Amino acid sequence: MTSTLTRPAPSRLPRRTRRLIISGIVLLAAASLVTVAVMPEDSFGGSLAKLVTAIGTVAGFTLVMTRSASWFLGNAPDSELDERERAIRDRAYFKAYGVFAGLAIVCAFYMLDLGPDLGLWTPEGHSQWWAIVWAFVMLGLGLPAGFVAWDLPDPVTDFDA
């Protein structure tokens, strides 16, 4: 427990700003899926929309995962955190597991049953399946940090009081 005394406080944005960023990333990810499913493969506009939304989503995830507060709290060992921080992290992991498992089930149902039945887009070939795998890897790694960033209250600023 003593290690919590010496480590520097991770810098944090206000909660409202953090929530806006997280909402933006979720919207970009949704837009990315829609462009892949709706936009024609060979059009310039479609390719550009796919590229922009994909880059935006990846950049957003990278931002959340590299922010010291959310990444640290999401991934630090128990000995580095105090009881409040451990509680925040545990809640974030619980929520992340629920979302990840839910999305995995929905995706499996879509790709194996609903998509082919309705003639909707489904991944084809090695590269598209790998893209799906990498999307899930990123999601799995980024979700706990995302929930930490969403849940953390505003920092106490008058440290010397």
Partner 1 sequence: MHNRIALLRAERGVSRKDLAEAVGVNFQTIGYLERGDYSPSLELALKICRFFGVPVEVLFSLDPFQPLTEALLRAETNRTSPETTS
Which residues would be at the binding site for partner 1 (CB under 8 A)? 1-2, 4-5, 7, 9, 81-85, 153, 155-156, 158-161
Minimum Å gap between C-beta 80 and partner 1 is 10
Q: Which amino acid would we find at residue 73?
A: L
Residue of 70, 92, 42, 33 lying closest to 149 (CA atoms): 70
Least Cα distance to 142 among 71, 50, 94 occurs for 71
Q: At its nearest, how many Å lie between partner 1 and the CB of residue 46?
A: 47
Shortest spacing between CB 122 and partner 1, in angstroms: 46
Nearer to partner 1 (CB atom), residue 118 or residue 156 = 156
Closer Cβ to partner 1, 15 or 50, answer by number: 15
The residue count for the chain? 161
**155 within 8 A of 16, measured Cβ to Cβ:** no
The least CB distance from residue 69 to partner 1, in Å, is: 10
Q: For residues 62 and 64, give the distance between their C-alpha atoms in angstroms, rounded to a whole number.
A: 6
Distances (CA, A) of 15 to 76, 83, 122, 156: 21, 21, 37, 12
For partner 1, give the closer residue by CB, 17 or 43.
17
Would you call 50 helix, strand, or coil by DSSP? helix
Closer residue to partner 1 (CB): 44 or 159: 159
